[in-house]
Homo-oligomer: A and B are copies of this chain.
Amino acid sequence: MKLNIALLAGDGIGPEVIDQAVKVSDAVAKKFGHEIEWTPALTGAAAIDAVGEPYPDSTHNICVAADAVLFGAIGHPRFDNDPSAKVRPEQGLLKMRQKLGLFANVRPTFTFPSLIDKSPLKKERIEGTDLVFLRELTGGIYFGKRGREDNDNTAYDTCTYTREEVERLARKGFEMAMQRSKKLCCVDKANVLETSRLWRETVQKLEKEYPEVQVSYEFVDAVAMRLVQWPSSYDVLITENLFGDILTDEASVISGSMGLMPSASLGEKTSLFEPIHGSYPQAAGKDIANPLATVLSAAMMFETAFGLKDEAEAIREVVNKSLTEGVVTEDLAEGGNAYKTSEVGDWLAKNI
């Protein structure tokens, strides 16, 4: 199979971790007889520096032409203390999501037995946790009308959802639930918000099409609690953009394996795969960042974008092996036995 992949390394540690994912992907492609064509493109602060905007048209065209996008991380401290700066790396992210139509952000949270003690939560609370959030990514208050009124004295943001937007996301949730334990939780704030009531109505209608799926409806504040109390009680959760932003980040720290969590953002045509961690600028260029989340994002890419399950499984296996054998970067190393980012990548590629 010929795989045409856009490669968006981004800022900070992005380029370093992406390099390892490329090595591992190439190794798995070679083993299974595929050919990957990587097309690099600029995003984030790197793109602002080069061409003045964080998601230039040239990059968009490369993404549209590709079968999938592998993404590193964006964000640079230079922009951090000025949230109202005209051009910010994050705007590139939002523009990219919208222009590529990446409407469903898939964020699994699971535990690695060897890392369970890193969790801030007690072991008995998180054992067996294996949940996945489906966050709506191109609608809601992120993309509604906003502005100032009343002589700059009042600010407003608008949250909007259409039935079609909700149904498209919810349907993915039901399908995912059918492939897992047939449990779906719809997270909303239907006791207050009109958009949440539309979500609930739409999901309730879909229930008829998926009679085997057991659906629960929970308020976002209750989920924020139960995620910490009993994360293993959840399986598939669907929610709108802003709630998803908050809850997926909350969920990411419970497993103790945050540095390893991959994600996918699915569109009708293109999909994008990226680690959930940020650009970690303090570590940039030091060859110390943990590449495993990006490598596991590549695994998600093989499986989700190309339907190549064995290839994905091969990557996951070698990642597990690196963990058990202690071939890990300093964030996971015990007793000073840390490998470099590039060494971990080399080891994974060799052992696949």
Contact = CB atoms under 8 A, between A and B. Distances in A.
Interface of A: 83-84, 88, 90, 94, 120-122, 125, 141-142, 144, 146-148, 150, 153-164, 189-198, 200, 217, 220-222, 224-225, 227-229, 242-243, 245-247, 249-250, 252-254
Contacts of A155: 160-161, 194-195, 197-198
A349 B153 CA distance: 50
A271 B198 CA distance: 34
Contact of A83 (B90, B121, B190): B190
A83 B200 contact: yes
Nearest to A231: B120
B153 A162 contact: yes
The 4 closest A-B pairs by CB, nearest first: A83-B190, A155-B198, A146-B194, A224-B250
Nearest to A148: B194
Given A158-B158, A253-B228, A83 B197 contact: yes
Given A147-B194, A220-B245, 13 more contacts: A120-B121, A120-B122, A144-B156, A150-B162, A154-B163, A154-B198, A155-B195, A156-B159, A157-B195, A158-B159, A220-B246, A221-B246, A228-B254
**Most chain-B CB neighbours within 10 Å: which of A155, A190, A249?**
A155
Given A121-B122, A155-B195, A160-B154, A247 B229 contact: no
A84 B162 contact: no
A276 to B, nearest CB: 11
7 contacts: A120-B122, A142-B192, A146-B195, A156-B159, A156-B194, A220-B245, A222-B249
A88 B191 contact: yes
Contacts of A242: 189
A157 B128 CA distance: 37
A44 to B, nearest CB: 13
Contacts of A157: 158-159, 193-195
